[in-house]
Amino acid sequence: GPVLPIALGAAFLGIAAGYVLYGTRLFDRAAFIRAFRPVYTLLKNKYYLDEVYGFLFVRPAVRLAELCGVFDLRVIDGAVNGVAAVTVETSRAAGEFDNVVIDGAVNGVAHGAVVGGRGLRRVHTGQVQGYMAAIFAGAVVSLAALLWVLL
């Protein structure tokens, strides 16, 4: 197709024009710039493509990033901090429950074992007759309870 020869011709023409304007003294460069000021300004600013690109893409992307930052700060961080506060309070309440209820129950059982052990120490005399009397009394009470339930 004709695209390649046209593109190459334009490239060579641009290179030749640049050489004539900047590489030789055939033309007064300042006079040439004054004569073609609008074209010179357009080319010097690269067809203002950077400005158009910044306006159409960069500025909206930056604004979107700012909005995402505000959303993250207010919504996401708020949720994370709220969950953290609930977790801290739940942990504090669980610790309090453990200290009061669980440790209290364990200490209560231990205290009961100590008190029960002291009471059983008094009963433990080493006299076999006393043990036999206690067993007999327990058997009589158990038999009476059984008869009472059955009759």
Cβ-contact 61, 69 below 8 angstroms: no
For the chain, which residues make up each domain, given as ranges?
1-44, 47-150
Q: Give the up-direction half-sphere exposure of residue 129: CA atoms within 13 A in the CB hemisphere.
A: 0
- Residue 131's pLDDT band (boundaries 50, 70, 90)? confident
Encoding tokens for residue 50? 């950077």
Instruction: Write out pLDDT tens, residues 55-79.
Output: 999 999 999 999 999 999 999 999 9
Count of other CB atoms within 10 angstroms of residue 131: 13
Query: What pLDDT does 29 receive?
Result: 85
pLDDT in tens, 10-34: 999 999 988 988 898 888 888 988 9
- Predicted local distance difference test score (pLDDT) of residue 5: 96
Quote the percentage of the chain above a pLDDT of 90: 75
CA neighbor of 2 nearest in space, from 43, 130, 97, 10: 10
Q: What are phi and psi of 48, to 5 degrees?
A: 60, 25
Percent of all residues in the chain with a pLDDT value above 70, rounded to a whole number:
100
